[in-house]
A and B are shown apart, each in its own frame.
Chain A
Amino acid sequence: MASLVTKKSLFVRLVKNVNDCTKRLSSHFIYYPDDGKPVEGETTKMNMMQAINNAMDLTLKTDPTAVVFGEDVAFGGVFRCALGLQEKYGKERVFNTPLCEQGIAGFGIGLATAGATAIAEIQFADYIFPAFDQIINEAAKIRYRSGGLFDCGALTIRTPCSAVGHGGLYHSQSPEAFFAHVPGLRIVVPRGPITAKGLLLSCIRERDPCLFLEPKILYRSASEEVPVEDYTLPLGKAEVLRQGDAATLIGWGTQVHVLLEVAQMADEQLGVKCDVIDLQSILPWDEDTVCNSVKKTGRCVIAHEAPLTSGFGAELAATIQEECFLHLEAPVSRVAGWDAPFPHVFEPLYLPDKWRCLQALKDTLDY
């Protein structure tokens, strides 16, 4: 009898262990919910999908020129971010487009240039490249090349990005650096429901075209107490999430949560405290917050899922070494995806997980 109980508990433990393993494979990070509130007032528990849905809902309600369109958004889109919006606001305002990213972007630019608030969804960030020309040569430059006569600031392109555990080549990429090379655009990546709602509302109202990259793994796995009312968060501003003096850890999107865990591990295992910065805005990015932190700590680790070469970390590292040269105690370290197509089965090896980031931090501290 007693042995049976032992066996059972062993079995339970085994199952639990297997589950943990699976969890780690499909999700390479632990989610750290935001504890602060950006505005006072009533909150409700939302995951990131619901928070984005809520931001679009508020926009359609308050801005009569606003329209939402994209592939399959009529039924909510593949990730259901537009769920229920067509029933609520009609087929004229929330509608499906054909499968034509270039057309969607150009259509959105024309629509926004003519004065409507255009919220376009590209089904996956990996699919955005047919629209690359429109975004780079049309959206980003129209204000400049028309001498300020026209702009498409009312355009926001939302698109799911980054690793999801099983996305493989064409459902996992993080293309922020491609677009970060283009003056005239704004690029924003939220880290969870609260930031997603506030930053998306800012993007929609921003007078320059915005690319809003949504780490797709957070749609359902991240939930927080999100303020019910309308609020915005500043674009072009990074956020310091943890304070310390040993090193500065910089990331965006999902990677912020990896770095938060690394900071916790460093505290527990190495007895050091780190600054953890969520960059939030990739373009234009918050040079002040980053450089002030690195000047204070003298050490910096940057981590992103996109490949290392010409990843956005390169831009950060270059600026940091230029601005903080005499304060640096070690070279700026970058932990990133490898310079390889995003692998399917090797995803856990490809991603800059907490172990790689922790090792980079140790190397930086021991330099």
Chain B
Amino acid sequence: MSKLVPSVAKLLAGNTVTKVGAPVATTSNAKYSTKSQASFEIKPYKLHKLDKGPATTATLTSEDALKLYEQLAVIRRIETASGNLYREKIIRGFCHLYSGQEAVAVGMRAAMRDCDTVITAYRCHGWTHLMGASVAGVLCELTGRKTGVSRGKGGSMHLYARNFYGGNGIVGAQSPLGAGIAFKHKYSGDGGVNFALYGDGAANQGQLFEAYNMAKLWDLPCVFVCENNGYGMGTSMDRSSASTDYYSRGDYIPGIWVDGMDVLATREATRFCIDYCTSGKGPLVMEMETYRYSGHSMSDPGTSYRTRDEIQEVRQTRDPITSFKEKILSNELATPDQLKEIDSKVREVVDEATKLAKSDAEIGTEELSADIYADCLEPTIRGVTPDAPLTHIAVAQRN
């Protein structure tokens, strides 16, 4: 019975489309989209120990198309701004850019429900915004200002938001945490699924396999998402991994390979994962094949282990934003004017946030000693000179 329900829903959805037609189109003066919905073929998934994979055609409404486009564009813009701020030496320390990989986060987020949780590695700026932080919250964190999501105390790798358990600076360390968060979903019966993201580099960390094992042993609602961008720092996947079929490396955990450059593919695949995990079948491994345009971090030019031609070719043929833009324009889900409008809105928001990230105040030195403990044993922390004591304070509200 329960198996029938999704197909019934699909049928109904199909019917609705033909009946409603194109409401937006009626008011169109060519500035707005002319179609309300279109279907797209998705590059075939590769499956590991699964009989059936995600839907191979995706339906997209014009409303969703605009939303997805805006999210893709805003992440690209945030990363461009981050790169510039880093070069201006306003962002210090570490900074890992997500440009090229936007479709993974945006597609996944579009399928996620309010109760689902995410934990990822250090390439986390885009995710943080998608999970609810403002652009200013992200950029101010990168520049260490008080409007930052972690009050400037975390920096690039340590961004958090509701249901977003953070960026994480240690390669692979977030994966077992994901299993723990998934256990909480299962234990409390809240119906949520945890998405634990890691890269192709971290895929070789021992603790990932420990997390795989626990997740399957206890059938936790956890999706291990391998964002395979081809390079673990400066080493290509072929040189670092005995098996580059990352979707099959969970062995006893079923897996899916997804074209991570197609936001509709990542969305459909994530929908499938949520259905699978919430039906109690346990964890999944999802490999998203993607690409990063920048180096591993800002200190890596990203050209010593790959050719500039390779990067150019991906930009021209597989770019997640360009290809999506082309798709929605040719299917008349959006018009060039609409996209231009979004582009300028995005530019405005990110420029504003960039300005704030430069001008916003830093937190006071009193917060150097804030939030180390729930309750500090003594009013001041130890290890500082008596004439410049640091009082332990609690900044965040306690529940």
Q: Which residues of A contact B (CB under 8 A)?
A: 67, 92, 95, 97-98, 100, 102-103, 105-116, 118, 133-134, 137-138, 142-151, 153, 183-184, 186, 206-208, 235-236, 284, 286-287
B64 surroundings in chain A (CB, below 8 A):
none
Is residue B165 within 8 Å, beta carbon to beta carbon, of the partner chain? yes
B170 surroundings in chain A (CB, below 8 A):
133, 137-138
Q: List 15 A-B contacts (CB under 8 A).
A: A103-B176, A106-B176, A113-B177, A113-B180, A116-B184, A118-B180, A143-B372, A144-B372, A146-B158, A147-B154, A148-B371, A184-B373, A208-B374, A284-B378, A286-B377
Contact A98 B213 (CB under 8 A): yes
Which residues of B142-163 have CB atoms within 8 Å of chain A's CB atoms? 148-154, 158, 160
Which residues of B179-196 have CB atoms within 8 Å of chain A's CB atoms? 179-181, 183-184, 187
Bound together, the chains give a CA A105 to CA B119 distance in angstroms of 16
Bound together, the chains give a CA A106 to CA B215 distance in angstroms of 13
Instruction: Knowing A116-B184, A134-B176, A183-B372 are in contact, say whether A102-B210 is a contact too (CB < 8 A).
Output: yes
Interface of B is mostly: loop
Contact A107 B176 (CB under 8 A): yes
Partner of A146, one of B166, B217, B372: B166
Bound together, the chains give a CA A134 to CA B207 distance in angstroms of 10
Partner of B181, one of A92, A110, A137, A206: A110
By beta carbon, the residue of chain A nearest B162 is A149
By beta carbon, the residue of chain B nearest A283 is B377
By beta carbon, the residue of chain B nearest A114 is B184
Bound together, the chains give a CA A113 to CA B168 distance in angstroms of 14
Partner of A111, one of B153, B168, B184, B206: B184
Contact B373 A150 (CB under 8 A): no
Which residues of B49-68 have CB atoms within 8 Å of chain A's CB atoms? none
A236 surroundings in chain B (CB, below 8 A):
377
- Least distance between B253 CB and chain A CB atoms (Å): 14
Contact A109 B187 (CB under 8 A): no
Q: Which residues of B contact A (CB under 8 A)?
A: 117, 119, 148-154, 158, 160, 165-166, 168-170, 173, 175-181, 183-184, 187, 206-207, 210-211, 213-214, 217-218, 370-378, 381-382, 394-396
B178 surroundings in chain A (CB, below 8 A):
110
Partner of B180, one of A108, A137, A142, A206: A108
A150 surroundings in chain B (CB, below 8 A):
160, 165-166
Bound together, the chains give a CA A208 to CA B377 distance in angstroms of 12
Instruction: Knowing A100-B213, A133-B173, A134-B173 are in contact, say whether A147-B371 is a contact too (CB < 8 A).
Output: yes
- Least distance between A66 CB and chain B CB atoms (Å): 11
9 A-B pairs closest in CB distance: A110-B180, A148-B396, A106-B176, A103-B210, A207-B374, A110-B177, A100-B210, A114-B184, A147-B151
Q: A103-B214, A105-B176, A142-B166 are in contact. List 20 more A-B contacts (CB 8 A).
A: A98-B210, A98-B217, A102-B207, A102-B210, A103-B211, A103-B213, A107-B176, A107-B180, A108-B180, A110-B179, A110-B184, A118-B180, A143-B371, A147-B152, A147-B395, A150-B166, A183-B381, A184-B372, A186-B373, A235-B377
Contact A145 B375 (CB under 8 A): no
A106 surroundings in chain B (CB, below 8 A):
173, 175-177, 179-180, 207, 211
Contact B180 A138 (CB under 8 A): no
Contact B154 A98 (CB under 8 A): no
Bound together, the chains give a CA A363 to CA B305 distance in angstroms of 64
Bound together, the chains give a CA A186 to CA B377 distance in angstroms of 11
- Least distance between B162 CB and chain A CB atoms (Å): 9
By beta carbon, the residue of chain A nearest B176 is A106
B371 surroundings in chain A (CB, below 8 A):
143-144, 147-148
A207 surroundings in chain B (CB, below 8 A):
373-375
- Least distance between B392 CB and chain A CB atoms (Å): 10
B373 surroundings in chain A (CB, below 8 A):
143, 184, 186, 207-208, 284
Bound together, the chains give a CA A286 to CA B378 distance in angstroms of 9
B165 surroundings in chain A (CB, below 8 A):
110, 113-114, 150
Instruction: Knowing A100-B210, A107-B176, A184-B372 are in contact, say whether A149-B181 is a contact too (CB < 8 A).
Output: no
Contact B180 A146 (CB under 8 A): no
- Least distance between B342 CB and chain A CB atoms (Å): 30
Bound together, the chains give a CA A120 to CA B375 distance in angstroms of 23
A287 surroundings in chain B (CB, below 8 A):
378, 382
- Least distance between A215 CB and chain B CB atoms (Å): 23
- Least distance between A245 CB and chain B CB atoms (Å): 27
Partner of A116, one of B187, B378, B382: B187
Contact B206 A102 (CB under 8 A): yes
Contact A110 B154 (CB under 8 A): no
B153 surroundings in chain A (CB, below 8 A):
144-145, 147
Contact B180 A114 (CB under 8 A): yes
B176 surroundings in chain A (CB, below 8 A):
102-103, 105-107, 110, 134
B394 surroundings in chain A (CB, below 8 A):
148
Contact A97 B374 (CB under 8 A): no
